[in-house]
Amino acid sequence: MLDEMRREPGVTRAAVARRLGLSTGSATEITSRLRDLALLAETPAAPASRGRPTSVLVPHPEGPVVIAVDLRQEDWRCAVAALDGRPVVADGGPHHSRAPERVIGTVARAVGRLRDRYGERVRAISVAVAATVRHGTVVQSSVLGWDAVDLAALAGNAVVPAPPTGDAADPAVPTGDAGGLIARVGDASAPLLVGNDATLAGLAEARHGVAAGAAAVLHVTVEVGVGGTLVLDGRPLHGATGAGGEFGHLPFGDPGLRCPCGASGCWDLEVDGRAIARHLGDPPPRDPRTYAEQALARAPADPAVRDAVGRAATRLGRGLAGLVNALDPAVVTLGGLAQPLRAAAEPEFTAALADGLMRFRRPAPPPVLPAALGRDGALHGAAVTGLDHVLTEDGLTAWAALRSST
Ligand SMILES: [Zn+2]
Protein backbone atom coordinates (compact mmCIF):
# COMPACT_ATOMS: atom_id res chain seq x y z
CA MET A 1 0.00 0.00 0.00
CA LEU A 2 2.89 2.34 0.83
CA ASP A 3 4.56 1.30 -2.43
CA GLU A 4 1.42 2.25 -4.34
CA MET A 5 1.37 5.65 -2.66
CA ARG A 6 5.01 6.16 -3.65
CA ARG A 7 4.39 5.04 -7.21
CA GLU A 8 1.37 7.23 -7.66
CA PRO A 9 0.93 10.16 -5.30
CA GLY A 10 -2.75 11.00 -4.99
CA VAL A 11 -3.85 7.39 -5.46
CA THR A 12 -7.14 6.46 -3.82
CA ARG A 13 -7.67 3.67 -1.33
CA ALA A 14 -10.19 2.06 -3.66
CA ALA A 15 -7.70 2.02 -6.55
CA VAL A 16 -4.98 0.49 -4.37
CA ALA A 17 -7.37 -2.16 -3.07
CA ARG A 18 -8.32 -3.06 -6.63
CA ARG A 19 -4.70 -3.29 -7.77
CA LEU A 20 -3.61 -5.39 -4.81
CA GLY A 21 -6.71 -7.57 -4.93
CA LEU A 22 -7.80 -6.54 -1.43
CA SER A 23 -11.36 -6.65 -0.22
CA THR A 24 -12.80 -3.36 1.02
CA GLY A 25 -12.59 -4.69 4.56
CA SER A 26 -8.90 -5.66 4.26
CA ALA A 27 -8.03 -2.33 2.68
CA THR A 28 -9.75 -0.52 5.54
CA GLU A 29 -7.95 -2.61 8.13
CA ILE A 30 -4.49 -2.20 6.57
CA THR A 31 -5.03 1.53 6.13
CA SER A 32 -6.02 1.87 9.73
CA ARG A 33 -2.91 -0.01 10.90
CA LEU A 34 -0.65 2.17 8.74
CA ARG A 35 -2.42 5.25 10.09
CA ASP A 36 -1.79 4.10 13.67
CA LEU A 37 1.89 3.77 12.78
CA ALA A 38 1.81 7.34 11.40
CA LEU A 39 2.83 6.06 7.99
CA LEU A 40 -0.15 7.28 6.03
CA ALA A 41 -3.26 9.35 6.36
CA GLU A 42 -6.34 9.82 4.23
CA THR A 43 -8.09 12.81 2.80
CA PRO A 44 -11.49 12.70 1.13
CA ALA A 45 -11.29 12.05 -2.59
CA ALA A 46 -13.20 14.19 -5.03
CA PRO A 47 -16.51 12.41 -5.49
CA ALA A 48 -16.38 10.02 -8.42
CA SER A 49 -19.28 9.84 -10.81
CA ARG A 50 -19.96 6.30 -9.71
CA GLY A 51 -18.91 3.96 -6.95
CA ARG A 52 -18.69 4.50 -3.26
CA PRO A 53 -16.87 7.49 -1.81
CA THR A 54 -13.21 6.75 -1.22
CA SER A 55 -10.19 8.56 0.10
CA VAL A 56 -6.80 9.64 -1.18
CA LEU A 57 -3.79 8.10 0.54
CA VAL A 58 -1.27 10.71 1.64
CA PRO A 59 1.84 10.64 3.85
CA HIS A 60 0.97 10.97 7.54
CA PRO A 61 1.60 14.53 8.77
CA GLU A 62 3.69 13.13 11.63
CA GLY A 63 5.26 10.37 9.54
CA PRO A 64 8.86 9.61 8.68
CA VAL A 65 10.80 11.85 6.31
CA VAL A 66 14.19 11.79 4.65
CA ILE A 67 16.49 14.70 3.96
CA ALA A 68 17.69 14.64 0.36
CA VAL A 69 20.75 16.65 -0.67
CA ASP A 70 22.04 17.36 -4.16
CA LEU A 71 25.65 18.57 -4.35
CA ARG A 72 26.28 19.85 -7.85
CA GLN A 73 29.14 21.56 -9.57
CA GLU A 74 27.83 25.07 -9.06
CA ASP A 75 25.31 24.80 -6.24
CA TRP A 76 23.65 22.63 -3.62
CA ARG A 77 20.08 21.92 -2.56
CA CYS A 78 18.54 20.36 0.47
CA ALA A 79 15.00 18.93 0.43
CA VAL A 80 12.61 17.00 2.63
CA ALA A 81 10.65 14.05 1.28
CA ALA A 82 7.81 12.23 2.98
CA LEU A 83 6.70 8.74 2.02
CA ASP A 84 5.21 9.85 -1.30
CA GLY A 85 8.81 10.49 -2.36
CA ARG A 86 8.41 14.00 -3.69
CA PRO A 87 11.31 16.15 -2.46
CA VAL A 88 10.33 19.63 -1.33
CA VAL A 89 13.34 21.92 -1.53
CA ALA A 90 13.96 23.65 1.80
CA ASP A 91 17.33 25.29 1.33
CA GLY A 92 20.15 25.75 -1.14
CA GLY A 93 22.41 28.15 -2.93
CA PRO A 94 25.52 28.55 -5.06
CA HIS A 95 28.92 27.46 -3.77
CA HIS A 96 30.85 30.53 -2.74
CA SER A 97 33.90 28.34 -2.58
CA ARG A 98 34.31 24.74 -3.69
CA ALA A 99 36.75 23.97 -0.86
CA PRO A 100 35.29 20.74 0.53
CA GLU A 101 35.20 21.95 4.14
CA ARG A 102 33.34 25.10 3.12
CA VAL A 103 30.77 23.24 1.04
CA ILE A 104 30.27 20.48 3.60
CA GLY A 105 30.06 23.00 6.44
CA THR A 106 27.35 24.99 4.68
CA VAL A 107 25.30 21.92 3.78
CA ALA A 108 25.78 20.34 7.21
CA ARG A 109 24.30 23.45 8.83
CA ALA A 110 21.29 23.27 6.52
CA VAL A 111 20.83 19.57 7.31
CA GLY A 112 21.16 20.39 11.01
CA ARG A 113 18.39 23.00 10.78
CA LEU A 114 16.08 20.45 9.14
CA ARG A 115 16.92 17.84 11.77
CA ASP A 116 16.07 20.37 14.49
CA ARG A 117 12.76 21.03 12.78
CA TYR A 118 11.75 17.42 12.05
CA GLY A 119 13.46 15.72 14.98
CA GLU A 120 13.27 11.94 15.02
CA ARG A 121 10.97 11.93 12.03
CA VAL A 122 14.18 12.22 9.97
CA ARG A 123 15.04 8.60 9.16
CA ALA A 124 17.84 9.05 6.62
CA ILE A 125 20.03 11.70 5.09
CA SER A 126 20.55 10.84 1.46
CA VAL A 127 23.09 12.71 -0.61
CA ALA A 128 23.55 12.85 -4.38
CA VAL A 129 26.97 14.18 -5.32
CA ALA A 130 28.63 14.96 -8.64
CA ALA A 131 31.48 12.61 -7.88
CA THR A 132 32.65 9.03 -7.99
CA VAL A 133 31.47 7.46 -4.75
CA ARG A 134 32.81 4.34 -3.04
CA HIS A 135 31.61 3.06 0.31
CA GLY A 136 29.74 6.32 0.71
CA THR A 137 32.88 8.40 0.41
CA VAL A 138 33.77 10.67 -2.47
CA VAL A 139 36.77 9.17 -4.24
CA GLN A 140 37.22 11.92 -6.78
CA SER A 141 35.26 14.62 -8.51
CA SER A 142 36.69 16.50 -11.42
CA VAL A 143 33.64 18.79 -11.58
CA LEU A 144 33.98 19.83 -7.93
CA GLY A 145 37.78 19.67 -8.01
CA TRP A 146 37.76 17.22 -5.11
CA ASP A 147 39.91 14.21 -4.39
CA ALA A 148 38.91 11.89 -1.56
CA VAL A 149 36.36 13.71 0.62
CA ASP A 150 34.45 12.23 3.52
CA LEU A 151 30.87 13.48 3.75
CA ALA A 152 30.30 12.05 7.24
CA ALA A 153 29.90 15.54 8.71
CA LEU A 154 26.59 15.82 6.86
CA ALA A 155 25.14 13.21 9.19
CA GLY A 156 25.39 15.60 12.12
CA ASN A 157 26.69 14.99 15.59
CA ALA A 158 26.50 11.29 16.16
CA VAL A 159 28.92 10.22 13.49
CA VAL A 160 30.32 6.73 13.50
CA PRO A 161 33.39 6.26 11.30
CA ALA A 162 32.85 4.81 7.85
CA PRO A 163 33.92 1.20 7.29
CA PRO A 164 37.71 0.99 7.33
CA THR A 165 39.53 0.82 4.04
CA GLY A 166 43.23 0.44 3.48
CA ASP A 167 45.47 -2.58 3.32
CA ALA A 168 42.71 -5.07 3.79
CA ALA A 169 40.58 -6.04 0.85
CA ASP A 170 37.79 -3.54 0.30
CA PRO A 171 34.65 -4.68 2.00
CA ALA A 172 31.75 -5.05 -0.35
CA VAL A 173 28.96 -2.52 -0.12
CA PRO A 174 26.45 -3.77 2.40
CA THR A 175 23.55 -5.24 0.54
CA GLY A 176 19.92 -5.51 1.42
CA ASP A 177 19.39 -1.80 1.87
CA ALA A 178 17.91 0.74 -0.41
CA GLY A 179 19.36 0.64 -3.90
CA GLY A 180 22.48 -0.60 -2.21
CA LEU A 181 24.82 2.35 -2.92
CA ILE A 182 25.86 3.68 0.06
CA ALA A 183 27.58 4.81 3.27
CA ARG A 184 26.90 3.52 6.73
CA VAL A 185 27.81 6.47 8.83
CA GLY A 186 25.76 8.53 11.19
CA ASP A 187 23.53 7.34 13.94
CA ALA A 188 21.45 4.26 13.43
CA SER A 189 18.13 6.10 13.35
CA ALA A 190 19.14 8.38 10.46
CA PRO A 191 22.10 7.01 8.53
CA LEU A 192 23.90 8.93 5.85
CA LEU A 193 23.48 7.47 2.37
CA VAL A 194 25.70 8.79 -0.41
CA GLY A 195 25.38 8.10 -4.10
CA ASN A 196 26.64 9.37 -7.42
CA ASP A 197 24.29 11.97 -8.88
CA ALA A 198 23.94 10.32 -12.30
CA THR A 199 23.24 6.94 -10.72
CA LEU A 200 20.54 8.47 -8.53
CA ALA A 201 19.03 10.42 -11.43
CA GLY A 202 18.79 7.15 -13.37
CA LEU A 203 17.20 5.44 -10.39
CA ALA A 204 14.60 8.22 -10.21
CA GLU A 205 13.79 7.92 -13.93
CA ALA A 206 13.35 4.17 -13.55
CA ARG A 207 11.17 4.44 -10.45
CA HIS A 208 8.94 7.39 -11.22
CA GLY A 209 10.27 9.18 -14.29
CA VAL A 210 9.93 8.56 -18.00
CA ALA A 211 11.04 4.91 -17.69
CA ALA A 212 8.77 4.04 -14.75
CA GLY A 213 7.95 0.37 -14.76
CA ALA A 214 10.63 -0.74 -17.25
CA ALA A 215 12.66 -3.71 -15.99
CA ALA A 216 16.03 -2.64 -17.44
CA VAL A 217 16.71 1.07 -17.80
CA LEU A 218 19.95 2.54 -19.12
CA HIS A 219 20.36 6.15 -18.03
CA VAL A 220 23.10 8.21 -19.64
CA THR A 221 23.77 11.82 -18.82
CA VAL A 222 26.25 14.38 -20.14
CA GLU A 223 27.43 17.19 -17.91
CA VAL A 224 31.21 17.45 -17.75
CA GLY A 225 31.85 14.00 -19.16
CA VAL A 226 29.35 11.17 -19.14
CA GLY A 227 27.66 9.41 -16.25
CA GLY A 228 24.81 7.06 -15.80
CA THR A 229 23.64 3.73 -14.57
CA LEU A 230 21.82 0.57 -15.46
CA VAL A 231 18.74 0.12 -13.26
CA LEU A 232 17.44 -3.45 -13.06
CA ASP A 233 14.04 -4.00 -11.46
CA GLY A 234 14.28 -0.62 -9.76
CA ARG A 235 17.79 -1.13 -8.37
CA PRO A 236 20.88 0.55 -9.80
CA LEU A 237 23.79 -1.71 -10.63
CA HIS A 238 26.42 -0.27 -8.34
CA GLY A 239 29.17 -2.87 -8.40
CA ALA A 240 31.17 -4.25 -5.52
CA THR A 241 32.06 -0.94 -3.90
CA GLY A 242 29.42 1.46 -5.17
CA ALA A 243 31.59 2.97 -7.90
CA GLY A 244 29.93 1.27 -10.87
CA GLY A 245 28.30 3.12 -13.73
CA GLU A 246 31.30 5.25 -14.71
CA PHE A 247 30.36 4.93 -18.35
CA GLY A 248 32.37 8.04 -19.22
CA HIS A 249 35.56 6.15 -18.59
CA LEU A 250 34.93 3.41 -21.10
CA PRO A 251 37.73 3.64 -23.68
CA PHE A 252 35.44 4.85 -26.47
CA GLY A 253 37.76 7.80 -27.11
CA ASP A 254 41.15 8.63 -28.57
CA PRO A 255 43.85 6.61 -26.77
CA GLY A 256 46.19 9.55 -27.31
CA LEU A 257 44.14 11.68 -24.91
CA ARG A 258 44.71 11.31 -21.17
CA CYS A 259 41.61 11.77 -19.01
CA PRO A 260 41.79 13.53 -15.62
CA CYS A 261 40.59 10.23 -14.12
CA GLY A 262 43.97 8.72 -14.92
CA ALA A 263 42.92 6.48 -17.80
CA SER A 264 43.52 7.18 -21.46
CA GLY A 265 41.02 7.31 -24.29
CA CYS A 266 37.94 7.95 -22.13
CA TRP A 267 34.51 8.52 -23.71
CA ASP A 268 34.21 11.51 -21.35
CA LEU A 269 36.55 13.52 -23.54
CA GLU A 270 34.53 13.01 -26.73
CA VAL A 271 31.04 14.25 -25.94
CA ASP A 272 31.15 17.32 -23.70
CA GLY A 273 32.26 20.93 -23.87
CA ARG A 274 35.91 19.87 -23.86
CA ALA A 275 35.38 17.88 -27.05
CA ILE A 276 33.53 20.70 -28.79
CA ALA A 277 36.27 23.17 -27.81
CA ARG A 278 38.96 20.81 -29.12
CA HIS A 279 37.20 20.45 -32.46
CA LEU A 280 36.93 24.23 -32.74
CA GLY A 281 40.58 24.79 -31.82
CA ASP A 282 39.62 26.60 -28.61
CA PRO A 283 41.60 26.14 -25.38
CA PRO A 284 40.11 23.70 -22.83
CA PRO A 285 37.16 25.58 -21.29
CA ARG A 286 37.23 26.31 -17.57
CA ASP A 287 33.53 25.49 -17.36
CA PRO A 288 32.89 22.83 -20.01
CA ARG A 289 29.16 22.65 -19.26
CA THR A 290 28.52 26.32 -19.90
CA TYR A 291 30.81 26.19 -22.93
CA ALA A 292 28.76 23.31 -24.34
CA GLU A 293 25.46 25.09 -23.69
CA GLN A 294 26.72 28.16 -25.53
CA ALA A 295 27.97 26.05 -28.42
CA LEU A 296 24.61 24.29 -28.70
CA ALA A 297 22.92 27.70 -28.85
CA ARG A 298 25.31 28.94 -31.55
CA ALA A 299 25.29 25.78 -33.64
CA PRO A 300 22.26 26.53 -35.86
CA ALA A 301 23.82 29.78 -37.10
CA ASP A 302 27.50 28.80 -37.25
CA PRO A 303 28.55 25.95 -39.53
CA ALA A 304 31.88 25.36 -37.78
CA VAL A 305 30.17 25.06 -34.39
CA ARG A 306 27.44 22.91 -35.93
CA ASP A 307 30.12 20.59 -37.28
CA ALA A 308 31.87 20.35 -33.89
CA VAL A 309 28.55 19.64 -32.17
CA GLY A 310 27.78 17.02 -34.81
CA ARG A 311 31.05 15.24 -34.06
CA ALA A 312 30.24 15.14 -30.36
CA ALA A 313 26.70 13.88 -31.08
CA THR A 314 28.18 11.15 -33.27
CA ARG A 315 30.40 9.97 -30.43
CA LEU A 316 27.43 10.04 -28.06
CA GLY A 317 25.39 7.87 -30.45
CA ARG A 318 28.23 5.41 -31.03
CA GLY A 319 28.91 5.03 -27.34
CA LEU A 320 25.23 4.51 -26.59
CA ALA A 321 25.13 1.77 -29.21
CA GLY A 322 27.97 0.01 -27.41
CA LEU A 323 26.17 0.25 -24.08
CA VAL A 324 22.93 -1.02 -25.62
CA ASN A 325 24.76 -3.97 -27.18
CA ALA A 326 26.40 -4.79 -23.85
CA LEU A 327 23.57 -4.14 -21.41
CA ASP A 328 20.36 -4.82 -23.38
CA PRO A 329 18.16 -2.14 -21.80
CA ALA A 330 14.41 -1.92 -22.47
CA VAL A 331 14.55 1.88 -22.37
CA VAL A 332 17.36 4.42 -22.62
CA THR A 333 16.93 7.76 -20.86
CA LEU A 334 19.07 10.81 -21.61
CA GLY A 335 19.84 13.34 -18.90
CA GLY A 336 21.74 16.60 -18.66
CA LEU A 337 23.12 17.86 -21.96
CA ALA A 338 22.77 14.48 -23.68
CA GLN A 339 19.30 15.26 -25.02
CA PRO A 340 20.11 18.85 -26.19
CA LEU A 341 23.26 17.50 -27.86
CA ARG A 342 21.25 14.82 -29.63
CA ALA A 343 18.58 17.33 -30.64
CA ALA A 344 21.20 19.74 -32.04
CA ALA A 345 22.58 17.06 -34.37
CA GLU A 346 19.83 14.46 -34.63
CA PRO A 347 20.90 13.02 -38.03
CA GLU A 348 24.47 12.33 -36.87
CA PHE A 349 23.30 10.96 -33.52
CA THR A 350 20.72 8.65 -35.06
CA ALA A 351 23.07 7.39 -37.77
CA ALA A 352 25.87 6.67 -35.31
CA LEU A 353 23.53 4.87 -32.91
CA ALA A 354 22.04 2.72 -35.66
CA ASP A 355 25.45 1.98 -37.17
CA GLY A 356 26.86 0.86 -33.82
CA LEU A 357 24.00 -1.51 -32.98
CA MET A 358 24.31 -5.19 -33.67
CA ARG A 359 22.20 -6.12 -36.68
CA PHE A 360 19.60 -8.09 -34.75
CA ARG A 361 18.84 -5.03 -32.61
CA ARG A 362 18.27 -2.59 -35.44
CA PRO A 363 14.66 -3.41 -36.32
CA ALA A 364 13.51 -2.77 -32.72
CA PRO A 365 16.08 -0.74 -30.80
CA PRO A 366 15.13 0.43 -27.31
CA PRO A 367 13.45 3.84 -27.25
CA VAL A 368 15.85 6.67 -26.35
CA LEU A 369 13.83 9.14 -24.28
CA PRO A 370 14.60 12.51 -22.68
CA ALA A 371 14.69 12.17 -18.89
CA ALA A 372 11.48 13.48 -17.34
CA LEU A 373 12.86 14.84 -14.08
CA GLY A 374 15.46 17.13 -15.64
CA ARG A 375 17.88 18.70 -13.22
CA ASP A 376 15.79 17.47 -10.28
CA GLY A 377 16.56 13.84 -11.11
CA ALA A 378 19.42 13.38 -8.66
CA LEU A 379 17.45 14.97 -5.83
CA HIS A 380 14.50 12.65 -6.56
CA GLY A 381 16.88 9.70 -6.66
CA ALA A 382 18.37 10.64 -3.30
CA ALA A 383 14.83 10.75 -1.87
CA VAL A 384 14.01 7.36 -3.41
CA THR A 385 17.12 5.80 -1.88
CA GLY A 386 16.41 7.30 1.53
CA LEU A 387 12.81 6.12 1.49
CA ASP A 388 13.82 2.64 0.38
CA HIS A 389 15.90 2.56 3.54
CA VAL A 390 12.98 3.76 5.68
CA LEU A 391 10.76 1.04 4.25
CA THR A 392 13.12 -1.88 4.87
CA GLU A 393 11.97 -4.27 7.57
CA ASP A 394 14.63 -2.87 9.91
CA GLY A 395 13.66 0.69 9.07
CA LEU A 396 9.96 0.06 9.75
CA THR A 397 10.73 -1.85 12.96
CA ALA A 398 12.82 1.06 14.22
CA TRP A 399 10.04 3.51 13.31
CA ALA A 400 7.40 1.42 15.06
CA ALA A 401 9.60 1.21 18.17
CA LEU A 402 10.03 4.95 18.17
CA ARG A 403 6.26 5.50 17.85
CA SER A 404 5.46 3.16 20.71
CA SER A 405 8.03 4.84 22.96
CA THR A 406 6.50 8.30 22.58
ZN1 LIG B 1 38.51 8.83 -17.60
Q: Return averaged pLDDT per consecutive 10 residues of the chain, 406 residues in all.
A: 86 89 90 92 78 84 96 94 94 92 93 95 95 86 87 67 40 40 60 93 95 96 94 91 89 94 94 97 93 97 98 98 98 97 98 97 96 94 94 92 85
pLDDT at 162: 41
Rounded to the nearest angstrom, the distance between the alpha carbon of 130 and the centre of ligand 1 is: 15
Rounded to the nearest angstrom, the distance between the alpha carbon of 320 and the centre of ligand 1 is: 17
Rounded to the nearest angstrom, the distance between the alpha carbon of 161 and the centre of ligand 1 is: 29
pLDDT at 166: 39
Rounded to the nearest angstrom, the distance between the alpha carbon of 185 and the centre of ligand 1 is: 29
pLDDT at 169: 40
41 sits in which H/E element: strand 40-44
Rounded to the nearest angstrom, the distance between the alpha carbon of 256 and the centre of ligand 1 is: 12
Rounded to the nearest angstrom, the distance between the alpha carbon of 317 and the centre of ligand 1 is: 18
Burial label, 390 (beta-carbon count in 10 A; 0-12, 13-18, 19+): buried
Rounded to the nearest angstrom, the distance between the alpha carbon of 24 and the centre of ligand 1 is: 56
pLDDT at 1: 87
Rounded to the nearest angstrom, the distance between the alpha carbon of 225 and the centre of ligand 1 is: 9
Rounded to the nearest angstrom, the distance between the alpha carbon of 264 and the centre of ligand 1 is: 7
- Measured CA to CA, the distance from residue 126 to residue 193 in angstroms comes to 5
112 sits in which H/E element: helix 100-118
The amino acid at 224 = V
Rounded to the nearest angstrom, the distance between the alpha carbon of 248 and the centre of ligand 1 is: 6
Rounded to the nearest angstrom, the distance between the alpha carbon of 250 and the centre of ligand 1 is: 7
Rounded to the nearest angstrom, the distance between the alpha carbon of 273 and the centre of ligand 1 is: 15
- Measured CA to CA, the distance from residue 340 to residue 335 in angstroms comes to 9
Rounded to the nearest angstrom, the distance between the alpha carbon of 144 and the centre of ligand 1 is: 15
In this structure, are residues 371 and 221 in contact, taking their beta carbons and an 8 Å threshold? yes
Rounded to the nearest angstrom, the distance between the alpha carbon of 397 and the centre of ligand 1 is: 43
Rounded to the nearest angstrom, the distance between the alpha carbon of 221 and the centre of ligand 1 is: 15
Rounded to the nearest angstrom, the distance between the alpha carbon of 263 and the centre of ligand 1 is: 5
Phi, psi dihedrals of residue 56, rounded to the nearest 5°? -95, 135
Rounded to the nearest angstrom, the distance between the alpha carbon of 208 and the centre of ligand 1 is: 30
Rounded to the nearest angstrom, the distance between the alpha carbon of 228 and the centre of ligand 1 is: 14
Rounded to the nearest angstrom, the distance between the alpha carbon of 124 and the centre of ligand 1 is: 32
